[in-house]
Structure 1
């Protein structure tokens, strides 16, 4: 007997794993890109030199990508992962774009 209720078991384990891999790679990239965009524009707006802000934001982006990549496989619900990655990445990119438009 299985300890997992039938309704909680994924219909296709391979499809579920593929969805997590796609979320980890592409969703993580989009989220990290949003971190870099928002971070660089906010730090530059705060008075930091552009190249220093860009470099520091890129470091934060790499760390965010690693954290999100690992979280994607550890999370229980895949829809929460996709919601956070797509929604958070879009929000961060919008913040970066807004701040950049106010600077130019």
Structure 2
């Protein structure tokens, strides 16, 4: 059985992607989900709670995927781009609703 050499840099990068990147992506997703649900006439607090529940599950999946992925650069790209796109979309929806 061959053992893979894992560098300290790789471990730090995966940990930061899992925690910080996962948080940013989840924050964007929750903001987008809340804005979309409120725009679809759901009560604010119902949208808030449902988005938080979904966000918790998504963060867990992202956290695990950051360590399971073969290419950490792709993980970073998806998390950062996704966070920016979701936050921008949430801002757009919120400006239309308010």
* TM-score class normalised by the smaller sequence: over 0.9
Pairwise CA distance, 1:72: 0.2
How many residue pairs end up in the alignment? 97
Task: Determine which of 88, 91, 98 is the counterpart of 1:94.
Answer: 88
Task: Say whether 1:85 aligns with 2:79.
Answer: yes
Root mean square deviation of aligned Cα: 1.4
Show structure 1 runs of 4+ deviating over 6 A.
none
Match in the other structure for 2:38: 44
Higher relative contact order (CA closer than 8 Å, sequence separation 6+): 2
CA offsets 1:36-67 (integer angstroms, 9 cap, x no match): 00000000000100000011011111111000
Q: Structure 1 unaligned runs (5+)? A: none
CA offsets 1:4-23 (integer angstroms, 9 cap, x no match): 7xxxx66xx01110000000
Q: Report which of the two structures shows the higher radius of gyration computed on alpha carbons.
A: 1
TM-score by length of 1: 0.88
Q: Structure 2 unaligned runs (5+)? A: none
Match in the other structure for 1:63: 57
TM-score by length of 2: 0.93
CA distance in 2, matches of 1:96, 1:60: 16
